[in-house]
């Protein structure tokens, strides 16, 4: 892993979305992802939505990860 010394490192600039799960599925998933895309765009953070959706990037806990796997 390579650590980037940028605004995120020095000042804690970042973006996240908290999603509720219902029966293991995220509620309003597309709306959350749309907001996340806008936030990272504003901060100039590289983000690939398809990769995040496929891999469940940033999802905590084994039960939550299952909801994002195909």
Q: Is 54 contained in some domain?
A: yes
Q: Is 22 contained in some domain?
A: no
Q: Is 23 contained in some domain?
A: no
Q: Is 9 contained in some domain?
A: no
Q: Is 46 contained in some domain?
A: yes
Could you write out the DSSP letters of every residue in 9-62?
Answer: HHH---------EETTEETTHHHHHHHHHHHHHHHT----HHHHHHHTTT--SH
Domain membership of residue 33 as a residue range: 29-70
Q: What is the pLDDT of residue 34?
A: 92
Q: Is 15 contained in some domain?
A: no
Sites in the chain below the pLDDT cut of 70: 1, 3, 56-70
Q: Is 58 contained in some domain?
A: yes
Q: What is the pLDDT of residue 31?
A: 92
Structurally, how many domains does the chain consist of? 1
């Amino acid at each position: 892993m390579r650590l980037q010394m940028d605004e995120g490192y020095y000042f804690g600039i970042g973006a996240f979305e908290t999603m509720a799960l219902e029966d293991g599925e995220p509620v309003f998933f597309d709306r959350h992802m749309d907001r996340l895309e806008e936030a990272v765009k504003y901060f100039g953070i590289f983000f690939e939505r398809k990769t995040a959706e496929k891999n469940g990037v940033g999802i905590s806990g084994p039960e939550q990860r299952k909801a994002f796997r195909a």
